[in-house]
């Protein structure tokens, strides 16, 4: 086509995947809920949201730590949600991991582990180091939700 200017970047189709995905514990393998939650989360953020590998790995690790805490200290994993937030005038694009458990009376603790070789006590410290922020709140009288937030690039980034 003579005289037609080519676009500097290829036009990508709109990403029509949901901006929120989640699983309740009943849909996860009852014998391996943490491993399955971790695998599903990594697959979703890479395949559907096209999150870069380094961030996808950090999301997978945070999901693993928060779900493990829910199983060990929170009376069992109740649910996992991933929330992708588009950029706006209020902030950049982000991804939140929300893990729900059954013990609202047991707030998450960030007490230091007994030592550097201790097998316990590093989870929330690791989540804090990987994410922009984290926190928790109660959901009614029978659940709490622990969350963390990641900065992610805009909507059309190639995955791994």
| Spatial distance between the Cα atoms of 111 and 114, rounded to a whole number of angstroms | 9
Number of domains observed in the structure of the chain: 1
Range of the domain at 94: 20-109+122-151
| Spatial distance between the Cα atoms of 100 and 105, rounded to a whole number of angstroms | 13
Whether 114 is in a domain gets the answer: no
Report the pLDDT value the prediction gives residue 88, as an integer from 0 to 100: 79
Q: Provide DSSP, 130-153.
A: HSSEEEEEEETTTEEEEEEEEE--
Using a cut of 0.85, tell me whether the model's pTM lies above it: no
Q: By three-state DSSP, how is residue 34 classified?
A: helix
Report the pLDDT value the prediction gives residue 3, as an integer from 0 to 100: 53
Whether 80 is in a domain gets the answer: yes
Per-residue pLDDT band at 14 (split at 50, 70, 90): very low
| Spatial distance between the Cα atoms of 140 and 118, rounded to a whole number of angstroms | 34
pLDDT digits (tens, 9 = 90+) for 63-109: 999 999 999 999 999 999 999 988 878 888 899 999 999 999 999 98
CATH number at residue 34: 3.30.565.10
Report the pLDDT value the prediction gives residue 11, as an integer from 0 to 100: 47
């Amino acid at each position: 086509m003579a005289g037609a200017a080519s676009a500097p970047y290829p036009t990508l189709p709109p990403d029509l995947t949901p901006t929120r995905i989640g699983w309740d514990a009943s849909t996860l393998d009852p014998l391996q809920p943490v491993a399955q939650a971790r695998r599903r989360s990594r697959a979703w953020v890479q395949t559907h949201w096209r999150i870069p590998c380094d961030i996808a790995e950090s999301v997978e690790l945070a999901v693993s730590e928060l779900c493990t805490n829910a199983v060990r200290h929170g009376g069992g994993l109740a649910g996992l949600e991933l929330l992708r937030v588009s950029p706006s005038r209020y902030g950049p694009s982000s991804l939140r991991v929300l893990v729900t458990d059954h013990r609202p009376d047991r707030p998450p603790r960030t007490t230091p582990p007994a030592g550097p070789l201790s097998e316990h006590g590093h989870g929330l410290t690791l989540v804090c180091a990987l994410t922009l922020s984290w926190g928790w709140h109660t959901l009614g009288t029978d659940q709490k939700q622990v969350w963390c937030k990641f900065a992610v690039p805009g909507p059309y980034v190639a995955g791994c």
